[in-house]
Every structure is written in structure tokens, then in C-alpha cells.
């Protein structure tokens, strides 16, 4: 059973999740044996190895939980959160511990066991984004769920344990403090300036140009000034919007085009790169927020967190974002910017 | 030249440090070639491969920057910070960027190229702690330095790039926000309760016993309730103290005894484990603080940070600290507790 715990002085939250301890690890096994020692649960034909579909895009003449799909959402077999709140928690100091419940799902991106170096075509990313939107909308109907993190761990250095391309989503009964702090800072600056502060920064970046990777009327990609990671890239809608669920097909299409292009380019710049994708969007039940702007973050994992980072909360990034953007925009497919 | 940058909405600081990009990596090379392809700069006899000693413990008949030492502190060849403030910074949006300067030093723990599985005897850890204290005292005399992080990256999964046992220290011109937040939370609770809140939690842990690893009149070791990592263990002085520099020899001796025992036990429980050590102590120029309690953190690196962690700021820990403590205290050397 999972438990949410917080250090009362550090305000740092941890999901104690014993259910995840025994999950398989393709990469650890592959390092010793060359090949994973189990059939891939995400390949077409192996649907019985996962829980039942929560959401699926499949051909009309196929059967639920059988072959014939192109995107499939299933419960995570080793969830970080329990499906329902526990009536009793079993561990820590009273007041700093609560039930760790919610939803933890796997979005199997494709029936095919693609190599890590492959990137989906823009059209397929577009379909995946529509699935993200659908999951976020569905979570709004579950009483008690407050926030969802949609993410992808790609490659062993990014925390992936299975090779088959997949995203994940974890929906939580609590908005993380870091998200709340960003919302509050944004609202406060909006009240001062009458404009979304991220929109303002976006305008300044477009004006300066040095950190731009790609621009289009719908979406801008750039390496943020305080990039935590080498080649960290953020994709944001040009028109202000706090909720990814509200993005229209034009925005999703351009987002898909830029993401596909940047991932292809990253693989050229750093072959075999591991990365995380993280969708930063407003809490499930928040109204449209004038001071918060959703974004999709690409977080390449060339550098590790180490003692200094744990001790300070700061990051060390050896590749200046100005240089990262210069290298990433050497690609005509990415649009007019740069 | 290094630069300190902050995202204005996230309040997240990053050291942009192009000087670290070309540092050698024993582990990456060893994975492909079996052996590092360069002589170890930290072995006795290779002193000319490092910068000049900043601090050293050496035999009286030996010569500076030659053989004959047992602990040696030298500047990091690939520093995260520049040695002096830059008169001009070169990059980010005004107001969210400043010169990234300070001190980045390597504390070479021993002249011998020990394997990763080795742990120093308590007496040697005691000598290392005295060196930590001396560096912290010395940094107090450098105008502008505000805070120092002493840490150790042990093994490739913990961010180490060189195999030879070494610690590091980075001194900064700014107290990290996470440290300030903990100091403020501690002072606030001290004013409410008239007691250091960490001392209170410590008393409760000793009373409960379930997460204790070792206790002695000078030092307690336990797995904190909100452990971020499997087998995360904190060592704290029993008597309240905010500054590691002020710890007396009795405390250091017991700290050394417990650290040596726990690292030995960890190697039995998880052979070949990578870990970080982090010293959390008060800022250099802070007075003795009633609400902050220094600690040494052992952070085993069995789990990685991935998309969920970046998106939420939360951690997922699959090993409950109650279980971790039970496994770690199966060792008589660790003292009377448990």
C-alpha cells in the first residue's frame, strides 16, 4: 500500500510505494544477458500481460484487449499509487502522512517494439496528445483527484525500465507544492503587470532569438535561460493557455511537428540519448488561469543528480542554453525561427 | 565562465558551467575499454596532475605537492564555479542571472586507489571530518562566500566520474533557497514550541524505534519517515547544534564509527551500491541557530529521478524506511539502538 509522506521542515513529499519494488527492468537485465528475459507486455499480441484497457484507439473489427490497436492505455502493473484511498495509513508521524492513492497508467505509444533511436511521425504524436487530453478530462470526473503528471521516460538514464515506447500518467489527490508555487508566482506577477509572465518571457525570447529553437504562429520551442539539463527544450503555445486539455487541433499539430523534429535532431546531436518528457499543465479543477502557461518539457539526461544537487536544490548544467539552441536549430524542419 | 541563473516563476537556480563539459569520466570509459585511459590524478605520485594543495595532512619529512600525504585538498580541475566574481555576465535575462563564482575543491580521501566496495576505518573518517571542518572555517574568511555544500559522489549511479575515493566541497556566494526555507521553518517552529523541531522529531524516533539504525549518547542514525531513496539514512548529533564546524571530537568519533559501520552494512545489503553523502549544515556566517540541526545524509542511488519527479518535485521510494532500518541495523557494530 502506498503512502504519501512529508518532512515537516523540508516540505518535501515522497510516495513510499513498496508495490514498485519488484518491477522488471529491461535495461538492467539486458546489460548482463544481452536480451530481456521476459516477453514484452506492450507488444501487440501480448495484451493479456497487462491489465484491461482504460482507453484505446483500435480498428473497428478488433476485440477489446486483443490485437488491432495503435495506442493503448492500461493500468501500471507496479503502481506508485493505490487505486483507492486507504482507510488507515501504516507508517509515519501523524500529520505528515496520508494515503498515497490515485491513478498510475501506462500509455503504450505503438504496438511495435521500436528501437530507442526511433521517433514517431508528427501525426502519431498528435494522436498521442489527444490521448493525453482524454485522460486529463477523464481524471476530472474522479472525485478527489487534483492533479496529473503526464511524462515519458526514454532510455535507461531517464529512468525507463521497459524498452517498448510508452508514456505514463500519474494522477494525484494533492497538487504538488512546486506546481502551487509556480501558479502563485504567476498570478502575483499577472496582478502586477496585467499579462501572463510566461507570455512576457516568451516575447523577450523571440525578440532576443539566441535561445530559440523553432517558432510558428501556434507553438514556440526554446532552451530556457535557466536550463537544468544540457539541451533542455520547452515547447509552449504562442497564445496564452493554462490547460493542455484545451489545446485545439492546430496547436497540437504544430506541437507534434516541433517535438518530432527536435527529438530527431537531438538523436543526431547526441546519439542514443536518454530523455524525459514532462507535461506541465494546470491542476485538474483549476479554472482558466491568466498567470500560468502550459508547456511540454524535453529533458535530456546527460548529467546526473549528485551530492551537490541534493544538498543545494540547485542544478549544474555544463552546456549553456545559447549553445544548445544553436545546435538544435540546425534543422530546417523545425520552422522559421533562428 | 560560470553563471548563476534563476527561472523567475519557478525560483529554481542553475549553475551554467561550461568549464565542466570536458571533464574525464572513468566509468564511461571503463564500460567500453575495461580500464580508464588516463593516469589517476588522485593517486600518490601523480600530484603534478592536480592544482596545488589547498590543505593537506602529510608527514613532516615530505614536500608540498609531492608524495607522503594521507588526505589532500586541491582545486577541482573542472569547477562548477569561477574563482572570482565576473565583472560582467554574458547571458540570461537581467535580474535573473549573476556571476557563478565561489570555490570548488576535491578532498582526496586517501593516497590509495581503493575499490568502490572499500570503506574507510572510523579513524580515517574522523580525520576527513576534521578536514571538512577546516575547509568550512577557512571559507568563512573569504569575503562574499555564504554557504558550502560538502558531499561525496560514490559510484557511477551517484554521479561520480573518477573512481579514486574523494569528496568535494562547493562554496557559494548565495544561500540556496531550499536551505533558507528549512532554516525559516525551523526558527518558526522553535518560536512556537521552544525546542528545535528536529530535536523533537529525533526524540519521537528514538521513542518509536522502528526507523532507528543506531544510537549512542553522541549521535543517532535513522531512516527518516519521508526517505527519498531506498535505505536513505541520516546521522545527527544528539545534542542540538546547527554548525558541523562546532562538533567536538567525541561527536566526530561517534559519527565516524556509525558512518563506517552503515556503509559496510549497505555494501552487504546491496553489493556494489552507489551513494551520495551530503552534509547539511548552517550557512557560513549564520549565528548558532536554535531551530536548525546539522546532519550527514547517506543517499543510496538505486532509484533514478524520472519524468514524474521532474513534473511534481516529489520522489517515489519503493523501500519503506521501516524495512530499510530493519535491514541496516542487523549489525552489532552499529551500537545499542534497535
Cβ separation A316–B15 shorter than 8 A: yes
In B, minimum Cα distance to A172 occurs at B312
Rounded to a whole number, what is the distance in Å from the CA of B267 to chain A's nearest CA? Answer: 19
Mean pLDDT to the nearest integer, A292-296: 98
Backbone angles phi and psi of B123, in degrees to 5: -60, -35
Cβ separation A7–B172 shorter than 8 A: no
For residue B305 the three cell numbers come to 529521478
> B180 CB contacts (<8 Å, ≥6 apart)?
none
> Which of A63-72, A92-101, A154-163, A203-212 has the least mean pLDDT?
A92-101
How far the first Cα of chain B sits from its last, in Å, is 50
pLDDT confidence band for B223 (50 / 70 / 90) = very high
Q: What is the pLDDT of residue B90?
A: 57
Question: Quick count: other Cβ atoms within 10 Å of Cβ A92?
Answer: 26
Nearest residue to B323 (alpha-carbon basis) of A96, A173, A83, A3: A3
Complex confidence, ipTM: 0.93
* pTM score: 0.94
Question: Quick count: other Cβ atoms within 10 Å of Cβ B220?
Answer: 24
Q: What is the pLDDT of residue B31?
A: 45
Cβ separation B317–A17 shorter than 8 A: yes
pLDDT confidence band for A35 (50 / 70 / 90) = low
Backbone angles phi and psi of A49, in degrees to 5: -85, -5
In B, minimum Cα distance to A94 occurs at B225
Contacts of A202 in chain B (CB under 8 A): none
Contact B2, B91 (CB under 8 A): no
Contacts of B189 in chain A (CB under 8 A): 8-9
Cell 527544450 sits at which residue? A233
* The 3-state secondary structure of B203-231, one letter per residue: HHHHHHCCCEEEECCCEEEECCCCCCCCC
Q: What is the pLDDT of residue B89?
A: 62
Interface contacts A/B by beta carbons within 8 Å:
245
The gap from C-alpha A34 to its chain's centroid, in whole angstroms, comes to 29
Whether A283 shows a pLDDT value over 60: the answer reads yes
Contact A220, A201 (CB under 8 A): no
Residue of A3, A16, A82 best to disrupt the B interface, most CBs of B under 10 A: A16
Separate counts of helices (H) and strands (E) for chain B? 7, 14
Contacts of B315 in chain A (CB under 8 A): 12-15
Residue A338 C-beta-side C-alpha neighbours within 13 Å: 24
Q: What is the pLDDT of residue A72?
A: 98
Q: What is the pLDDT of residue B117?
A: 84
Whether B107 shows a pLDDT value over 80: the answer reads yes
Distance of CA B31 to CAs A154, A158, A184, B275, B300, Å? 21, 18, 46, 19, 21
* CA B259/CA B334 separation, integer angstroms: 9
Extended strands (E) in B32-165: 55-58, 69-75, 97-99, 103-108, 147-154
How far the first Cα of chain A sits from its last, in Å, is 50
Mean pLDDT to the nearest integer, A115-125: 92
Q: What is the pLDDT of residue A97?
A: 86
Contacts of A177 in chain B (CB under 8 A): 313
Cβ separation B80–A308 shorter than 8 A: yes
* CA A116/CA B85 separation, integer angstroms: 43
* pLDDT single digits (tens) A128-168: 999 999 999 999 999 999 999 999 999 989 999 889 999 99
Beta strand B12-16 pairing with A315-317: parallel
Q: What is the pLDDT of residue A1?
A: 73
* pLDDT single digits (tens) B227-246: 999 999 999 999 999 999 99
* CA B316/CA B228 separation, integer angstroms: 7
Cβ separation A92–B9 shorter than 8 A: no
Beta-bridge mates of residue B317:
A16
Distance of CA B150 to CAs A75, A100, A109, A111, A119, Å? 42, 33, 43, 48, 41
Contacts of B1 in chain A (CB under 8 A): none
Quote the DSSP letter at residue B51: P
* CA A210/CA B41 separation, integer angstroms: 38
> A33 CB contacts (<8 Å, ≥6 apart)?
none
Nearest residue to A329 (alpha-carbon basis) of A178, A211, A232, A186: A211
Q: Helix, strand or coil for residue A154?
A: strand
Whether B182 shows a pLDDT value over 80: the answer reads yes
Q: What is the pLDDT of residue B134?
A: 98
> A179 CB contacts (<8 Å, ≥6 apart)?
A147, A280, A283, B312, B313
Mean pLDDT to the nearest integer, A205-220: 95
In B, minimum Cα distance to A205 occurs at B93
Of B15, B189, B322, the CB nearest to A314: B15
Mean pLDDT to the nearest integer, B282-287: 98
Cβ separation B225–A172 shorter than 8 A: no
Q: What is the pLDDT of residue B94?
A: 55
Cell 507535461 sits at which residue? A279
Nearest residue to B275 (alpha-carbon basis) of B230, B326, B219, B222: B230
Q: What is the pLDDT of residue B27?
A: 57
Whether A338 shows a pLDDT value over 50: the answer reads no
Percent of chain B topping pLDDT 90: 78
Quote the DSSP letter at residue B101: B
Contacts of A225 in chain B (CB under 8 A): 5, 7, 91-93, 96-97
> Which of A17-21, A48-52, A323-327, B262-266 has the least mean pLDDT?
A17-21
Contacts of A186 in chain B (CB under 8 A): 9
Beta strand B219-222 pairing with B212-215: antiparallel
Beta strand B3-7 pairing with B55-58: unpaired
* CA B313/CA A155 separation, integer angstroms: 21
Cβ separation B321–A149 shorter than 8 A: no
Q: Helix, strand or coil for residue B201?
A: helix
Cβ separation A312–B149 shorter than 8 A: yes
Amino acid at each position: 500500500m502506498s503512502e504519501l509522506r512529508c518532512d515537516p521542515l523540508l516540505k518535501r513529499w515522497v510516495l513510499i510505494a513498496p508495490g514498485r519494488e519488484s518491477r522488471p527492468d529491461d535495461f538492467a537485465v539486458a546489460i548482463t544477458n544481452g536480451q530481456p528475459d521476459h516477453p514484452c507486455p506492450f507488444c501487440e499480441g501480448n495484451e493479456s500481460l497487462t491489465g484491461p484497457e482504460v482507453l484505446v484507439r483500435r480498428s473497428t473489427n478488433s476485440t477489446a484487449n486483443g490485437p488491432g490497436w495503435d495506442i493503448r492505455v492500461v493500468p501500471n502493473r507496479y503502481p506508485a499509487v493505490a487505486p483507492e484511498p486507504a482507510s488507515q495509513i501504516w507508517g509515519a508521524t501523524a500529520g505528515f502522512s496520508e494515503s498515497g492513492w490515485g491513478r498510475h497508467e501506462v500509455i503504450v505509444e505503438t504496438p511495435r517494439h521500436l528501437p530507442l533511436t526511433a521517433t514517431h511521425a508528427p501525426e502519431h504524436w498528435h494522436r498521442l496528445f489527444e490521448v493525453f487530453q482524454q485522460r486529463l478530462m477523464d481524471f476530472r470526473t474522479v472525485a478527489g483527484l487534483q492533479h496529473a503528471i503526464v511524462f515519458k521516460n526514454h532510455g535507461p538514464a531517464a529512468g525507463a525500465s521497459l524498452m517498448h515506447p510508452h508514456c505514463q500518467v500519474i494522477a494525484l489527490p494533492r497538487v504538488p507544492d512546486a506546481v502551487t508555487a509556480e501558479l502563485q508566482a504567476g498570478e502575483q506577477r499577472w496582478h502586477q503587470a496585467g499579462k501572463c509572465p510566461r507570455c512576457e518571457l516568451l516575447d523577450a525570447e523571440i525578440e532576443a532569438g539566441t535561445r530559440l529553437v523553432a517558432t510558428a504562429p501556434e507553438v514556440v520551442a526554446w532552451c530556457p535561460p535557466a536550463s537544468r539539463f544540457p539541451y533542455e527544450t520547452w515547447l509552449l503555445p504562442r497564445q496564452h493557455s493554462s490547460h493542455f486539455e484545451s489545446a485545439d487541433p492546430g496547436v497540437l499539430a504544430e506541437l507534434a511537428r516541433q517535438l518530432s523534429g527536435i527529438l530527431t535532431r537531438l538523436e543526431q546531436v547526441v546519439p542514443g540519448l536518454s530523455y524525459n518528457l514532462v507535461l506541465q499543465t494546470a491542476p485538474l479543477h483549476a479554472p482558466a488561469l491568466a498567470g500560468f502557461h502550459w508547456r511540454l518539457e524535453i529533458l535530456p539526461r546527460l548529467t546526473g543528480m549528485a551530492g551537490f544537487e541534493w544538498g543545494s536544490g540547485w542544478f549544474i548544467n555544463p552546456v549553456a542554453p545559447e549553445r544548445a539552441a544553436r545546435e538544435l536549430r540546425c534543422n530546417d524542419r523545425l520552422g522559421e525561427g533562428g
